[in-house]
Amino acid sequence: MTDQGQIHATTVSVEGKGILLMGPSGSGKSALALGLLALGAQLVSDDITLLHRDHDTVTARAPDAAPAAIEARFVGLLRARLTDAVPVALVIDMGREESERLPPHRTTTLLGVDCPCLHKVAHNHFPAAIMQYIRHGRLE
């Protein structure tokens, strides 16, 4: 089965694994992406992400006309090299803030595929925690 769509989201890649940051305008998607870029992630898309489903894999990429840039609020549009499409390995829901110290495993559905999902964490360690999660996973 194949399907496709467009989502208001910013996507970065770490070691070929996509991290899709979704949420309303002003929720901090680009700010979190900048933090992840500073830790070695690569930009896939900023603001708009195209999704494509092939069987049980959802792939994220930038629209064809997307600028090679990321918005840094109150700084401007910053140049950034865009990387190729990546399979989505983790979704961060920036519209929901985490309140549990050890949250349960959550998923969200993209194009009919369940993907691991974290809620926004309003602490400075969040970008580093995401990098550790995407590289090494999480205990059950």
d(CA 12, CA 131): 11
pLDDT of residue 36: 99
- Checking if the pLDDT of 29 tops 80, the result is yes
| Catalytic machinery residues | 8, 29, 47, 101
Tally of domains in the chain: 1
- The enclosing domain of 8 has a CATH number of 3.40.50.300
Burial class (CB in 10 A: 0-12, 13-18, 19+), 129: middle
Which of helix, strand or coil describes residue 36? helix
Q: Answer yes or no: are the C-beta atoms of 103 and 121 closer than 8 Å.
A: no
**Other Cβ atoms within 10 Å of 125 Cβ, number:** 9
pLDDT band, very low/low/confident/very high, at 1 (cuts 50, 70, 90): low
Domain that holds residue 110: 2-136
Q: Quote the percentage of the chain above a pLDDT of 70.
A: 99
Q: What's the mean pLDDT in 11-31?
A: 97
pLDDT band, very low/low/confident/very high, at 100 (cuts 50, 70, 90): very high
- Checking if the pLDDT of 2 tops 70, the result is no
pLDDT band, very low/low/confident/very high, at 16 (cuts 50, 70, 90): very high
> Who's near 32: CB < 8 A, 6+ residues apart?
10, 21, 92, 94, 120, 126, 127, 130
Residues forming beta bridges with residue 75, ordered by sequence position: none
User: What are 46-78's pLDDT values in tens digits?
Assistant: 999 999 999 999 999 999 999 999 999 999 999
Q: How many helices (H) and strands (E) does the chain have?
A: 2, 10
Cα distances (angstroms) measured from residue 120 to each of 22, 33, 97, 123: 10, 12, 5, 9
Q: Quote the percentage of the chain above a pLDDT of 90.
A: 98
